[in-house]
Amino acid sequence: MNFALVVEWLIKGVVLVLILLGGFAYLTYYERKALARIQVRIGPNRAGPWGLLQPIADAIKLIFKEEPTPARADKLLFILAPIVTLVPALVITAVVPWGPTMTVFGHKLTLYIADINVGVLYIMSVASISVYGIVLAGWSSNNKYAMMGGLRSTAQMVSYEIALSLAFISAILLAGTMRMTDIVEAQKSIWFVLLQPVGTAIFLIATLAEVNRPPFDMPEAEQELTGGYHTEYSGMKFALLFMAEYDKMIAICLIGATLFFGGFREFWFLANTIFSVDRMPWLGPIYIFIKIVILLFGMIWVRATFPRIRYDRLMAFGWKVLLPLSLAVVFITAVGIILAEQVNPLWMWGIPVVSLLVGVFAIAMIDRELRRKDYARR
Amino acid sequence: MDLTLILFIVLAITAIATAIGLLVSRNAVYAALFLVLNFATVAVFYLLLGAPFIAMAQVTVYAGAIMVLFLFVIMLLGAEKLPKGQALPWQRPLAIVLTVVLLAEAGILLFQRLSITTALSNPEAALNTEGAVRGLGAMLFSQYLLPFEVTSVLLLVAMIGVIVLTKENKA
């Protein structure tokens, strides 16, 4: 074990955590500003120029807030739950590369913490663990509504995890590997979003449910559950839960950008120019930052646009629409790859065409179901 | 002492401690959480043995899916506090007999392994030749095709069974 290597890992890990924590603070600012603009308001503008110091003011307020623990709450788990929620949100990004390998002062620097050959599987397993914090927060609060919020989120996350994993599989199939850096390299000529648009759409929808964002924010539906699993939390413990939610947003956008939008590779119109990542490796982190900001805007936009859907319909959508659709997408992708390999490379374009047809069919079926007379009464 | 051995000892102690914690804790939620920790420790054992795929599958399936459902049921039923209630009369003798059998089995296997040193020589070598995941997939779809197919049919049957059982009566 090389000492310098350990120090390098340590520095990269600390930098990544700091980026995520700072990113959380300014993501809240970004979200509030974007939401305000969409709703024709101004948004935070008091603290600092353009309200830029607002996140810091929020943090100071939360630090000095009183932190009561509810009576007969399970003290240990009540304190542990925010930590258990936050840690998966931070460690999930460890396998995602945010830049190519570059040479700095004669030292080869890789811009990822770990490049393991089961990278996508690692993401899946960390995502599947991340539900514990929310369940425990709900249960340990000794509060009916918090508990119901926790249970709802368990059911929701377990259900949408399947569609999410199958969306991962379509990217794995196209790349032929689970190693994240190889998946990025496989998208050198064409992004997977073009080869598998329906898979990408499933990924984006399922991640909304996975990180409990509107319109799937059942666990914290205010009108029904006051505050869901974090009803009883305040002060820094609440801040940790909040931080976990926003860091998950950043992480999921980073993963989505890597799996379907070319990762740290340049945009297609910059390929083979001086701005290509091959020529200027330090542009990699900038490209992925731009992609993350765009994807995050999509999430905020969805929050501003769509009303929250009812819980049973959420589950029905997950199980009856997303699951069969994602299975079909995996099947189409696999068949398309085999045909492209065995018969003619042009069959590769059969994948997006057939997937889109199936997607349109699914939307038509949903539309038909919604138009049924007795739908509203069920 | 090399790093792997230190890691192994720490992990072994964690695994045993969490297993004991699972048995003695009177709160079902804590017992379930101890089991999660135990599964996670076992996953790290797989990593030490050079089987990252199995390790990740262990975390995803056992710690991530099955135990979440356990916790879900425990919390939904409000069954977290176990009653003091009496044990089944035949449980204790049966447990003792089964423990003795298990320990004897483990001991025999251990001594067999000690005598045949070749058996320990890198069992994962075959899987690592063309990448662990690729190798595993090839094995599943060639040598172990029948068990694989049977398992998938079993899962399908279970899925259909659940749908049939929970289908509401149209009457």
Task: Determine, for residues A122 and B56 on separate chains, whether the beta-carbon distance falls below 8 Å.
Answer: yes
Residue B107: pLDDT above 80? Answer: yes
Instruction: Dump pLDDT digits (tens) for A58-85.
Output: 888 888 888 888 888 788 888 888 888 8
3 state SS of B33: helix
| Contact between A124 and B60 (Cβ < 8 Å) | yes
Residues B75 and B4 in one domain: yes
| Whole-number CA gyration radius for chain A | 22
The confidence score (pLDDT) of residue A194 equals 83
At A295, the amino acid letter reads L
Residues B53 and B97 in one domain: no
Q: Is any Cβ of chain B less than 8 angstroms from the Cβ of A158?
A: yes
Taking CB atoms and an 8 Å cutoff, what residues of chain B touch A147? Answer: 75
Residues B17 and B80 in one domain: yes
Q: Is any Cβ of chain B less than 8 angstroms from the Cβ of A135?
A: yes
The confidence score (pLDDT) of residue B132 equals 66
Residues B74 and B96 in one domain: no
pLDDT band at B13 (very low <50, low <70, confident <90, very high): very high
Residue B26 to chain A, least CA–CA distance (Å)? 14
Taking CB atoms and an 8 Å cutoff, what residues of chain A touch B64? Answer: 125, 127-129, 131, 161
Q: Which of A117, A169, A319 to mutate to test the interface with B (most CBs of B within 10 A)?
A: A117
Provide ipTM, 2 decimals.
Answer: 0.80
Task: Determine, for residues B29 and A139 on separate chains, whether the beta-carbon distance falls below 8 Å.
Answer: yes
| Contact between A351 and A199 (Cβ < 8 Å) | no
Distance CA A267, CA A294 (A): 13
Instruction: Dump pLDDT digits (tens) for B35-61.
Output: 999 998 998 888 887 778 888 888 888
Q: Is residue A358 part of a domain?
A: no
Residues B32 and B102 in one domain: no
| Dihedral sign for Cα atoms in the order A106, A111, A112, A116 | negative
Position with higher pLDDT, A300 vs B136: A300
Instruction: Dump pLDDT digits (tens) for A191-204.
Output: 888 888 898 999 99
The confidence score (pLDDT) of residue A364 equals 87
Q: What is the 3-state secondary structure (H, E, C) of A132-201?
A: HHHHHHHHHCCCHHHHHHHHHHHHHHHHHHHHHHHHHHHHHHHHCCCCHHHHHHHCCCCCHHHHCHHHHH
Instruction: Dump pLDDT digits (tens) for B130-171.
Output: 456 777 788 888 888 999 999 999 999 998 998 888 887 665
Helices (H) and strands (E) in chain A, counts: 15, 2
Residues B9 and B81 in one domain: yes
Q: Which of residues 160-189 of A touch B (CB under 8 A)?
A: 161, 178
pLDDT band at A1 (very low <50, low <70, confident <90, very high): low
Residues B65 and B30 in one domain: yes
The confidence score (pLDDT) of residue B14 equals 92
Q: Is residue A285 part of a domain?
A: yes
> Which residues span the domain enclosing B150?
125-171
Residues B40 and B57 in one domain: yes
Task: Determine, for residues B75 and A135 on separate chains, whether the beta-carbon distance falls below 8 Å.
Answer: yes
Residues B138 and B79 in one domain: no
Q: Is any Cβ of chain B less than 8 angstroms from the Cβ of A125?
A: yes
Q: Which of A103-112, A131-140, A196-205 has the highest mean pLDDT?
A: A196-205
CA A362 to chain centre: 24
Residues B77 and B9 in one domain: yes
Taking CB atoms and an 8 Å cutoff, what residues of chain B touch A116? Answer: 52
Task: Determine, for residues A125 and B64 on separate chains, whether the beta-carbon distance falls below 8 Å.
Answer: yes
Task: Determine, for residues B133 and A116 on separate chains, whether the beta-carbon distance falls below 8 Å.
Answer: no
| Contact between A179 and A115 (Cβ < 8 Å) | yes
CB atoms closer than 10 angstroms to residue A354: 18
Chain B's closest residue to A159, CA to CA, is B65
Taking CB atoms and an 8 Å cutoff, what residues of chain A touch B56? Answer: 118, 121-122, 124-125
C-alpha distances out from residue A81 to A61, A136, A150, B67, Å: 22, 6, 11, 16
Residues B165 and B112 in one domain: no
Instruction: Dump pLDDT digits (tens) for A218-274.
Output: 766 666 677 777 777 878 888 888 888 888 889 999 998 888 888 888 777 777 777
Taking CB atoms and an 8 Å cutoff, what residues of chain A touch B59? Answer: 125-126, 128-129
> Which residues span the domain enclosing A74?
3-310
Position with higher pLDDT, A178 vs B19: B19
Q: How many distinct structural domains can be found in chain A? A: 1
Residues B36 and B23 in one domain: yes
